Amino acid sequence: MSDPDQPGFMPDMTGIAGKRRNVVLVWLVWPLITLGIYGYVFWYKINREARDFDRRIEVDPTLSLMAVLFGPLIIVPPFVSVYNTGKRIARMQRAAGINPSCNAWIGFILIFLFGLHTLYYQMELNRIWDHYGEPAEGSTVPLVY
């Protein structure tokens, strides 16, 4: 949890906690069971969590979903969405007061390695929720910057 005595702490800055998920379930099990549909649900949810966690992160979760759902027809949009989502997660980590370890380029490269970008991004999101002591999804958490 953020310490009020910590430099940069602003008590009026709060966000909404997201959900800590099992990375293997997110990456492999749920997509297999749902024939790939869960991957799209996951993409919408993590972008919505970014928006809800820090109001300064401007993202339309529906637009991000459409980029990965229909974007392959144009080729570029899914890659842009994956890269930008990695940048958003790094901003979330900074806002939580932890050293941003999420690298959007790593996420981009992992697209081509069995879709490991979902596993990587959820692992990075879990770092945020662990930092707050695994708060209940939807609960209010303090932001540092």
Question: What is the pTM (predicted TM-score) of this model?
Answer: 0.90
With H, G, I as helix, E, B as strand and everything else as coil, classify residue 141.
strand
Examine the pLDDT at 1 and tell me if it is beyond 50: no
What is the number of H-type helices and E-type strands within the chain? 7, 2
With H, G, I as helix, E, B as strand and everything else as coil, classify residue 134.
coil
Q: What percent of the chain has pLDDT over 90?
A: 88
Q: What is the pLDDT of residues 76-99, one digit of tens each?
A: 999 999 999 999 999 999 999 999
Q: What is the distance of C-alpha 73 from the center of its chain?
A: 24
Q: What is the pLDDT of residues 31-76, one digit of tens each?
A: 999 999 999 999 999 999 999 999 999 999 999 999 999 988 888 9
With H, G, I as helix, E, B as strand and everything else as coil, classify residue 15.
strand
Complete DSSP assignment for 20-64: ---HHIIIIIHHHHTTTHHHHHHHHHHHHHHHHH-TTS---HHHH
Q: What pLDDT is recorded for position 73? A: 86
Examine the pLDDT at 3 and tell me if it is beyond 70: no
Tokens 């109001």 -> residue? 55
Q: Residue 55: name the closest of 83, 16, 22 by CA.
A: 16
